[in-house]
Amino acid sequence: MSQLRPALVAVALTLAVATPAQAAAAPAITVENGRTQPVFSYADAVREHVYVESTVDSDQDGALDKVRVDIIRPKESGPGLKVPVIIDESPYYDNSGRGNEGERKEYDDAGNVVKFPLFYDNYFVPRGYAVLNVDMLGTTRSDGCPDIGGKADVLGGKAVIDWLNGRARAFRADGTPAVADWTTGRSAMIGKSYDGTLANAVAATGVKGLETIVPISAISSWYKYQRSNGVIYNYDYASWLAGYIDTDPAAKCQAVRDRMDAEDGDDTGDFNRFWAERDYIDGLLGDVSKVRASVFVVHTVNDLNVKPDNFSAWWKALADRNVPRKIWVGQTQHVDPFDFEGRRTLWVETLHRWFDHWLHGVRNGITREPRADVEIGPARWITQRDWPAPFAVKASLRPAPDGTLGLKPAPRKSTASFADVAMSESDMVAEIGTANPGRVAFTTGPLPLDLRLSGTPTADLRVKLDKPTSNLTALLVDLGEESRVDWRRGQGITTLTEEDCHGESTAADDACYRKVVTNVATRPLEIVARGWIDVQNRHSLSHAEPLPPGEYGTVKWLTLPQDYTFRKGHRIGLVIAGTDATYSGETGTGANVTVDLAGSRVVVPFVLGTPLTDVPKDTARFRGPERVDLPEPEPGFHFF
């Protein structure tokens, strides 16, 4: 018995070694109810940075520019667990910051970011994503010079996608190679304004691995951002913006800014090679035909910073190619959907499902839902099959010599005249039924029912000038007392003190942001749609063609798009004027403009089912409200 005990002990010890208690399984991507679940620790996530080598030398120092990439990813990610990537590339991480609260990057002693702006990292890293905050070339901790939509801007971001897919090199701070062995290579780009613009630009190169983009209030054509059919909004804007976002000593990139001023064509307002390089629909560096990524567009119809023709033209081009797409259309100004009143949780959930579908391959039905969410009044939204509203009817509203606006053409040889002088929009719409030498105006009678405009009106005028050219402005106006989104004040929102949280937090980086409400104002009128053109660009944006003085010519162009409901009892006004001093830096040509009323109209897309033939026309001329001074947009209007 004494000999048996040692043997039993030995067997017991052997069994104990051979069958240990099972270790806890490491977290893995978990999907429940069609959504990835927050199973990874945000506090324990890997925080690191690398420098990706681009293919450009924008500062001409003899070395290829390197792009600074700040990374946060699940601790478990690596060769055994590869995760997809969400990228926010921005020029604003060390100047204006990101989001409604202007968050900037904050770094630890090792140079790694411990506070990533916005909620993307807090929310998505626990759900099995890596989040990359990329410093656009020429900004923050990247090399090079800002190129304002040009080659360096575009190819810097593309290099990051290439690195994630093994097609470009990257280095750590000590110069050792950095390999992205922790990612599937499947990537998304997201961001508001310039950040979203970079997403559009990189997608237009057709780079492999970029699966989806979410451009918010983003540019698709820098010409559209700074021009309208030959009319210049701001002079030397590209060089100004480059100087603003570049926090290096001014001398470093002065030559690049000087080149922009020399090439931007401010002397004519024409479209040239400078703008073609910065066009992502049909440009020199890329175009919509190359887009491989799905696209989730968010924009607002009252964004008079990145004007909404940037999204409408991009959206139509994507639709023409059947690119998988989704859209939210709001009514505030230059505002992120995270700050749409009452929509924050829905936005986070929708974005989550969109990324899960395109990056993790989750079948959650998001591509089978209505394509468009549209705000039709202050914080009032609908969903519909597409945008603009399908099956809209294009109605021709025609000016008459008695100042009315109806459906029948004016008598032949009916005319109206004004001078091309620089006027503010307040002056253009003031006392709309009285004579003004700087504009002509026309109004319908009271509407018998609501009329919803959805899409892009067209101004179609026949004019003659006594000088070779003139700027023309067309304004479509809603005349009637109404509470509307006050996008001129605070971009249309007021920030509250109460917060809500989306994602996990650390002491250095919380996931909580202040709530907002929509600003509303009651006024007797609202300018609904705006459109501008230089008459000499009526046939071509690239080549000026003066209109021979004394000869009539057709001038036809698109206004900015809108989605707006004219209420029953209101009147629709049409104002035709010269240079719009609210949005253009030009002074006006002084030309006398004669409008052939019989040959002129504005074509407005109204939603199907509206009995347009019932719109009455008064016999008495409508005088309109007394002068209404519309507030000018608040300072900072040129910032992204």
Catalytic residues: 193, 303, 334
d(CA 307, CA 221): 10
d(CA 592, CA 469): 10
- 639 contacts 234 by C-beta, under 8 angstroms: no
- 3-state secondary structure (DSSP) of residue 367: helix
d(CA 422, CA 473): 10
Residue 281: alpha-carbon gap to chain centroid = 14
d(CA 576, CA 295): 36
Structure tokens at 129: 């994503």
The 3-class SS string of 193-220 reads: CHHHHHHHHHHCCCCCCEEEEEEECCCC
Q: Which residues are registered as beta bridge partners of 98?
A: 103
Residue 382: alpha-carbon gap to chain centroid = 20
Structure tokens at 80: 């055994």
Helix residue ranges per DSSP H, 227-266? 237-245, 254-263
d(CA 70, CA 111): 10
d(CA 343, CA 321): 30
Q: Compute φ and ψ for 337, nearest 5 degrees.
A: -60, -20
Structure tokens at 400: 């008459």
- 3-state secondary structure (DSSP) of residue 605: strand
Bridge-based pairing of strands 512-518 and 493-501 is antiparallel
**Which candidate, 459, 448, 473, 454, places its Cα nearest to that of 571?**
448
- 376 contacts 563 by C-beta, under 8 angstroms: yes
- 82 contacts 495 by C-beta, under 8 angstroms: no
Structure tokens at 39: 């199973």
- 624 contacts 431 by C-beta, under 8 angstroms: yes
Structure tokens at 299: 């924009």
d(CA 254, CA 69): 25
- 85 contacts 132 by C-beta, under 8 angstroms: yes
d(CA 114, CA 325): 34
Q: Which residues are registered as beta bridge partners of 596?
A: 415
- 265 contacts 72 by C-beta, under 8 angstroms: no
Buried/exposed code over 579-605 (b: 16+ C-beta within 10 A; e: otherwise): bbbbbbebebbebbbbbbbbbbbbbbb
- 307 contacts 638 by C-beta, under 8 angstroms: no
d(CA 136, CA 134): 6
Q: Is the dihedral of CA 513, 296, 195, 356 positive or negative?
A: positive
